[in-house]
Amino acid sequence: MNNKPIRLAVALFPVMLFLFLSALPGALAQVKIELGRPYANIEDFSAIRFNAHTDYYEICSLDRTIIPVLIKNNNNFPDTFAFNVDNEYASLPLKSAVLKSGKSAILPLIVNPPIEKEGNTTIILDIITTKEALKRSVIIKTNIKKCYLFGLEISKEKDEICGCSYGMYDLELQNNGEHDIFTFVLDAPGWVNSTLENNTIMLGRGEKREIVLAANPPCDEKGTFDIRAEAVSGKSDMSIGDELELSVLPQKECYNTVISADDTAIDYFGRNIPILIKNKGVKDADYSLTAEGIDWYSLSQAYFSLKHNEDKTINLALYPDEGVAEGDYNLDIIAETGSQEFRESITIKLKRKSAFFERVRFYLNYVKYYIGLGIVLLGIVLFFAVLAKKRGKGRKAKQETKTKKGRMLVWYLAILALILIILFAIFKYGLYLDKVKGFISALSADYILPYKAYFIYSASGIGILIIALLIIHSLRKREGKRKPKGEEAESMEDKTEKKKEASKRGEEFRERFMEVKRVSKKTEEENSFAVVKYAYPALVACLFLAVISYAIYMFFGRSIYTRFGYVFDFIKAYYIYLIIAAAALLLLLFVVYLATRGAKKNKKKKKTGKARRIIIITIWLIVLSGVVYSFVYYNLISYAKDFFAVYYPYILIGIGILTILIMILHFHSRNIK
């Protein structure tokens, strides 16, 4: 076996390996690769011009940076070059290219790092030749920065406004990246505008800009609108935006206000009128309240706020001076909220009181405290009178009490007259009036008002004290009725004698009572008259005549109306007053019936005095007809209404005083009996 070729190959292998490795750098050196200066955010690769760049690359996140890679084929033969990049945010527009001998080309390496990418990174670009199958890796060093950190935010996400009103919303554009120029874009209805004079905003690193959106929808606008604001970066074309959902309601649904006030009649002393303002809209409202038509008024509150469905009562004080003429005045109450105005018109009837009532009111106004003091004193006197009545013991004590009560009435009247004389003297001649007023004012300011919060506790204590005194009085009264323990039993003879005396007094009392009853019954029979016999037949006759008249009118209406038209016109014009007159007549007949109902029980009553009764009834009917005619002809109802509207406080006071006097007289009349 010949081993010489094998031995020769083994001996020559190191020499051949050395020659191959020595020739490899020469082959790779035939391909020239250079890196160029980068381009940012361009789409047209033909605009790239190669300028050598030897340093690392500063790249902004979100930027589309183009790094030119120059490849030159220095071989004496054409070759195909394949390209590959190992980074997820780096890409190439082509995977391979053919270069002829001595030709060069620019390979655009696209680097587009995301927003969260930051810091020093390395990109490896692999270039592989096809014929020699040689691979060359190009290391590209980069420093990625967050150049485009900016944000746009609206102060509200949702809001609701009304038509014909303004809604103001703040926007803030913040730039935390590199210096940039932003374009502001607003997508909204035409009635939404911004405070920017133009849509370009220039901001450096860390700067911000406040923008205000103003919404002013039409009065009848209704719906939900999406308002979007965007900021577009001039360097990266990146846009960031925010949205506002705006609901618009018509003006009438937002601010619906109701003003309630009544017509009134006043005198020259003035009066307070309550005005009710209610917010029936869906929005809270701030109000400004005024009045037009007169200048002698004042409001307890002119500016206030009301929530949805909330109401408030405002006092309108009317105080005309003597120079204002009597008559009717139209007053417009105006409530303004925003751009809306609500009105309510009322009529003020100004009427001068008589001099007598003016003096009465003047004196009542100044003596009201003394009147109250007099009522308190009168109550105290009555209280002690009741105690004096109940403290009498035995028959003799009761007789003495009855005698004393007649005398006490004189003393009561004398004390009341003395109090009235003193009050009259004080207010007639001004005796110590100023000092008394000053003392009351000082007392109120120093002691009453500061301790107003303790009034409830004081009143509760006084009430409890009164209840305790009543309980003690009741217990003492019961103890007084009990027999003493050491009292001896009465003898049977004394008891029998007392029973006989009591029986005798009972017989005498029954005889006197029966005598008084016979006398009163006889008097009632003499004075009573049975008009009720004529009342109901008269009513039946009136109804019958009404039916007959209606039938005649239906059959012969035209001829009757032609002859007696003024009668029907009178009935049409004054039917209300005729109804009132008929009601008054029925009321009168009912009263007469109540007064004479006892006459039916006496069947043997003599039918006397018929003519006198008929005459009395006729006179009453004539008087009633005259009153009704006067009210109709002279329009006295309107005057009566005004009279009661102006003088109703005095009428009520008079009724109250009259009631008190009747009760006092009734009480003392019972005591005298």
pLDDT digits (tens, 9 = 90+) for 444-464: 544 454 444 445 555 555 666
pTM for this structure?
0.38
Task: Answer whether residue 592 is part of any domain.
Answer: yes
Q: Which residue has the higher pLDDT, 144 or 662?
A: 144
Angle (CA) 450-453-457 rounded to 5° is 125
Lowest-confidence pick of 49-63, 132-146, 195-209, 469-483? 469-483
- Which of the listed ranges 125-139, 362-376, 614-628 does the model predict with the highest average pLDDT? 125-139
Nearest to 207 by CA among 237, 177, 242: 177
DSSP 537-577: HHHHHHHHHHHHHHHHHHHHHHHHHHHSHHHHHHHHHTHHH
pLDDT in tens, 595-653: 555 544 444 444 445 556 666 666 666 666 666 666 655 566 666 666 666 666 666 66
CA 316, CA 319: separation in Å to the nearest integer?
10
CA 590, CA 612: separation in Å to the nearest integer?
19
Phi and psi of 264, rounded to 5°?
Answer: -150, 160
Strands (E), 234-339: 239-249, 257-260, 264-266, 271-279, 285-292, 297-299, 303-306, 311-318, 327-337
pLDDT of residue 271: 80
Task: Answer whether residue 616 is part of any domain.
Answer: yes
DSSP reduced 3-state for 154: strand
* 178 and 68 in a common domain: no
CA 353, CA 355: separation in Å to the nearest integer?
6
Q: Which residue has the higher pLDDT, 651 or 546?
A: 651
Distances (CA, A) of 11 to 4, 21, 406: 11, 17, 169
CA 402, CA 69: separation in Å to the nearest integer?
137
pLDDT of residue 228: 92
Nearest to 216 by CA among 166, 169, 255: 166
- pLDDT surpasses 60 at 594: no
- The CATH number that applies at residue 268 is 2.60.40.10
Biggest CA–CA distance in the chain, Å, is 189
Lowest-confidence pick of 50-64, 239-253, 327-341, 423-437? 423-437
DSSP reduced 3-state for 449: coil
User: What is the token pair recorded at 584?
Assistant: 């008054």
pLDDT of residue 246: 92
Lowest-confidence pick of 68-82, 331-345, 385-399? 385-399
The CA R_g of the chain, rounded to the nearest whole Å, is 57
pLDDT in tens, 547-574: 555 555 555 544 444 455 555 555 655 5
Instruction: Please identify which residue in the block is written with the tokens 């003016």.
Output: 358
Nearest to 119 by CA among 46, 61, 51: 61
Which of the four pLDDT bands, split at 50, 70 and 90, describes residue 527?
A: very low
DSSP reduced 3-state for 340: strand
- pLDDT surpasses 60 at 430: no
* 162 and 141 in a common domain: no
Sign of the Cα torsion 511, 513, 518, 522 reads positive
- pLDDT surpasses 60 at 176: yes
CA 25, CA 31: separation in Å to the nearest integer?
10
- Taken as a whole, the chain contains a residue count of 673
* 138 and 38 in a common domain: yes
* 135 and 34 in a common domain: yes
Task: Answer whether residue 493 is part of any domain.
Answer: no
Nearest to 110 by CA among 138, 91, 88, 84: 91
DSSP reduced 3-state for 475: helix
Cα atoms found within 13 Å of the Cα of residue 56, Cβ hemisphere only: 11
Lowest-confidence pick of 222-236, 265-279, 344-358, 460-474? 460-474
pLDDT of residue 164: 84
Q: Within 10 Å of residue 360's Cβ, how many Cβ atoms?
A: 16
Task: Answer whether residue 372 is part of any domain.
Answer: no
pLDDT of residue 115: 74
Bridge partner list, 93: none
First to last CA, the chain: 177
Taking all residues of the chain, what is their mean pLDDT, rounded to a whole number? 71
Q: Which residue has the higher pLDDT, 636 or 176?
A: 176
β-pair type (297-299, 271-279): unpaired
Cα atoms found within 13 Å of the Cα of residue 560, Cβ hemisphere only: 12
- pLDDT surpasses 50 at 479: yes
Task: Answer whether residue 371 is part of any domain.
Answer: no
Total number of domains in the chain: 4
Q: Which residue has the higher pLDDT, 630 or 106?
A: 106
CA 8, CA 3: separation in Å to the nearest integer?
9
- pLDDT surpasses 90 at 72: no
Of 352, 377, 395, the residue at which a domain comes to its end is 352
Nearest to 325 by CA among 361, 296, 297: 296
- pLDDT surpasses 90 at 191: yes
C-alpha dihedral, 470 to 476 to 479 to 485, nearest 10°: 160
pLDDT of residue 325: 87
When pLDDT is averaged across residues 212-228 and rounded to a whole number, the result is 91
Of 352, 385, 415, the residue at which a domain comes to its end is 352
* 245 and 183 in a common domain: yes
When pLDDT is averaged across residues 234-251 and rounded to a whole number, the result is 85
- pLDDT surpasses 90 at 472: no
Nearest to 156 by CA among 255, 218, 247, 67: 247
* 577 and 535 in a common domain: yes
Domain that holds residue 97: 25-145
* 88 and 39 in a common domain: yes
3-state secondary structure 429-447: HCCCHHHHHHHHHHHHHHH
pLDDT of residue 78: 86
Q: Which residue has the higher pLDDT, 342 or 146?
A: 342
* 289 and 182 in a common domain: no
Bridge partner list, 126: 84, 137
Number of helices (H) and strands (E) in the chain: give both, helices first: 12, 28
* 268 and 333 in a common domain: yes
- pLDDT surpasses 80 at 16: no
Task: Answer whether residue 1 is part of any domain.
Answer: no
Distance, CA of 602 to chain centre: 68
Nearest to 217 by CA among 197, 247, 242, 187: 247
- pLDDT surpasses 50 at 241: yes
Of 324, 352, 380, the residue at which a domain comes to its end is 352
When pLDDT is averaged across residues 73-98 and rounded to a whole number, the result is 87
Distances (CA, A) of 320 to 93, 295, 372, 542: 95, 9, 29, 53
Distance, CA of 637 to chain centre: 39
Task: Answer whether residue 383 is part of any domain.
Answer: no
* 247 and 155 in a common domain: yes
Pair 68, 108: CB distance under 8 Å? yes
Q: Which residue has the higher pLDDT, 99 or 3?
A: 99
* 333 and 268 in a common domain: yes
* 157 and 231 in a common domain: yes
Distance, CA of 113 to chain centre: 59
DSSP 73-105: E-SSS-EEEEEEE--TTEE-S-SEEEE-TT-EE
Task: Answer whether residue 11 is part of any domain.
Answer: no
- Which of the listed ranges 318-322, 345-349, 357-361, 665-669 does the model predict with the highest average pLDDT? 345-349
